[in-house]
Amino acid sequence: NAGVTQTPKFRILKIGQSMTLQCAQDMNHNYMYWYRQDPGMGLKLIYYSVGAGITDKGEVPNGYNVSRSTTEDFPLRLELAAPSQTSVYFCASSQPGEGEQYFGPGTRLTVT
């Protein structure tokens, strides 16, 4: 099992550009999450999904969009990138009713 995979590993965007961060898991987990982690800071939940076709906002959803068309994939879309979106983005997955989340290796995004 590859677990949770994320692409790309690194990306530099210009202000106003858009991009999609990819996340996939092969553990057949129903729940998936997107977090951002700023330098020296904790994890902030952006969006999450409890199954295909179902998504919900976390604590910092502004400037982002998600979709969940399959159990395996949970892409995060940044529209009109801003410097405030410079961060490391982590995708995670878990099974319903379990408190363990499995994290991907992260995508380091810089917006200049």
Among 69, 36, 34, 59, CA closest to 48: 34
For other proteins, the closer CB: 13 or 106: 106
Asked if residue 76 lies in contact with residue 21, where contact means CB atoms within 8 angstroms, the answer is yes
Among 2, 3, 11, 1, CA closest to 76: 11
For other proteins, the closer CB: 49 or 85: 49
Query: Least distance in Å: CB of 96 to other proteins?
Result: 8
Please give the DSSP secondary-structure letter assigned to residue 12: E
Site residues for other proteins, window 67-106 (CB under 8 A)?
Answer: 90, 92, 97, 99-106
Residues that bind other proteins (CB under 8 A): 4, 31, 33, 40-43, 45, 48, 50, 56, 58, 90, 92, 97, 99-106
